[in-house]
């Protein structure tokens, strides 16, 4: 079996057709690297009411 040029050097890489290794690294076209974290777009951020946070709310 021929060694994959995308292997990180450990000899344990199993890289799928999309360039994703079992360890979580992603082939970026030049080297293996950690993929950028995906932001959960379903999560909404609520502003903090500073008056309530200070304990001044009735």
Residue 19 lies in a domain: yes
Cβ partners under 8 Å of residue 15, min gap 6? 4, 6, 7, 21, 27
Q: CA separation (Å) from 18 to 4, 26, 29, 33? A: 14, 8, 11, 14
In a domain, 31, yes or no: yes
Domain count along the chain: 1
In a domain, 57, yes or no: no
Q: Is the residue at 18 inside a domain?
A: yes
Terminal C-alpha separation, the chain: 72
pTM over 0.85: no
Domain that holds residue 10: 1-35
Q: pLDDT tens digits, residue range 2-56? A: 677 888 777 788 889 888 888 888 888 888 888 777 766 666 767 777 665 555 5
């Amino acid at each position: 079996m021929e060694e994959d040029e995308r292997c990180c050097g450990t000899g344990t890489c199993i890289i799928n057709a999309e360039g994703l290794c079992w360890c979580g690294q992603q082939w970026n076209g030049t080297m293996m690297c950690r993929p950028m974290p995906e932001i959960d777009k379903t999560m909404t951020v609520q502003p903090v009411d500073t008056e309530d946070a200070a304990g001044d709310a009735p």
